[in-house]
Amino acid sequence: MKQIFNLFDLKQKVDYKTEVLSGLIVAIALVPEAIAFAMIAGFSPLTGLYAAFVLGLVTAILGGRPGMISGATGAVAVIFLGLINELRLANPDITSESILQYVFAMVIFAGVIQIIVGVLRLGKFIRLVPHPVMFGFVNGLAIIIFMAQFPNFYEKGTSEFLGSTQFLTMLGFVLLTMVIIWGLPKITKAVPSSLVAILVVAGIVIGFNIDTTTVADTLNAGESIKGGFPPITIPNIGFTWENIKLIMPYAFIMAGVGLIESLLSLNLIDEITETRGRSNRECIAQGAGNIASGFLSGMGGCAMLGQSLINISAGARARLSGIVAAVVLLIFIMFGSSLIEMLPMAALVGLMFMVAIGTFEWASLKTFKKMPKIDVIVMVLVTLITVFTHNLAIAVIIGVILSALAYSWENAKRIRARKHVDENGVKHYEIYGPLFFGSTAGFAEKFDVLNDPAEIIIDFKESRIADMSAIEAVNVLTHRYAKQGKKVHLRHLSKDCINLLNNAEAIIDVNIMEDPNYKVVIDRI
Q: What is the pLDDT of residues 349-398, one digit of tens each?
A: 898 888 888 878 888 888 787 888 889 999 999 999 988 877 777 888 89
Name the residue range of residue 437's domain: 413-523
Q: What angle do CA 129, 353, 227 make, to 5 degrees?
A: 95
φ/ψ (deg, to 5) at 212 = -150, 165
Quote the number of domains for the chain: 2
Q: How are the residues of the chain apportioned to helix, strand and coil, as percentages rounded to the nearest 5?
A: 65, 10, 30
- Could you tell me if 355 and 441 lie in one domain? no
Q: What is the dihedral of CA 98, 100, 105, 109, to 10 degrees?
A: 140
Domain assignment of residue 417, yes or no = yes
For residue 83, what are the CA distances in angstroms to 234, 247, 439?
19, 7, 43
**What are the start-end ranges of the H helices in 125-278?**
131-147, 164-187, 193-207, 241-273
* 504 confidence band (pLDDT: 50, 70, 90): low
Using CA atoms, how far apart are residues 24 and 195, in angstroms rounded to an integer?
Answer: 8
User: In the 8-state DSSP scheme, what is residue 258?
Assistant: H
The per-residue pLDDT for range 177-211, each reduced to its tens digit, is: 999 999 998 888 777 888 889 899 999 999 999 98
Domain assignment of residue 259, yes or no = yes
User: Over the Cα atoms of the chain, what is R_g?
Assistant: 29
For residue 125, give the amino acid letter.
F
Q: Is 68 helix (H, G, I), strand (E, B) or coil?
A: coil
- Could you tell me if 450 and 314 lie in one domain? no
Percent of the chain with pLDDT over 70: 93
Using CA atoms, how far apart are residues 71 and 77, in angstroms rounded to an integer?
Answer: 11
Using CA atoms, how far apart are residues 27 and 348, in angstroms rounded to an integer?
Answer: 11
pTM of the model: 0.76
Domain assignment of residue 388, yes or no = no
Q: Give me the CATH number covering residue 432.
A: 3.30.750.24
CB atoms within 10 A of CB 176: 17
Domain assignment of residue 390, yes or no = no
Q: What is the pLDDT of residue 217?
A: 85
Domain assignment of residue 68, yes or no = yes
Residues in the chain: 525
For residue 500, give the amino acid letter.
L
- Relative to beta strand 521-523, strand 487-491 is parallel
DSSP secondary structure of 448-510: -TTTS-SEEEEEEEEEEE-SHHHHHHHHHHHHHHHHTT-EEEEES--HHHHHHHHHGGGTS--
Domain assignment of residue 469, yes or no = yes
User: In the 8-state DSSP scheme, what is residue 296?
Assistant: T
- Could you tell me if 336 and 449 lie in one domain? no
The per-residue pLDDT for range 8-63, each reduced to its tens digit, is: 455 567 889 999 999 999 999 888 888 878 877 878 899 999 999 999 999 999 99
Residue 322 has pLDDT above 50, yes or no: yes
In what helix (H) or strand (E) does residue 436 lie, and over which residues does it extend? none
- Could you tell me if 328 and 452 lie in one domain? no
For residue 385, what are the CA distances in angstroms to 103, 285, 357, 363, 391?
26, 28, 19, 20, 7
Handedness of CA 506, 507, 511, 514 (dihedral sign): positive
- Relative to beta strand 427-435, strand 416-421 is antiparallel
Domain assignment of residue 397, yes or no = no
Residue 395's region, left for phi above 0, alpha for psi from -120 to 50, else beta, is alpha
Residue 455's region, left for phi above 0, alpha for psi from -120 to 50, else beta, is beta
Domain assignment of residue 254, yes or no = yes
- Could you tell me if 157 and 247 lie in one domain? yes
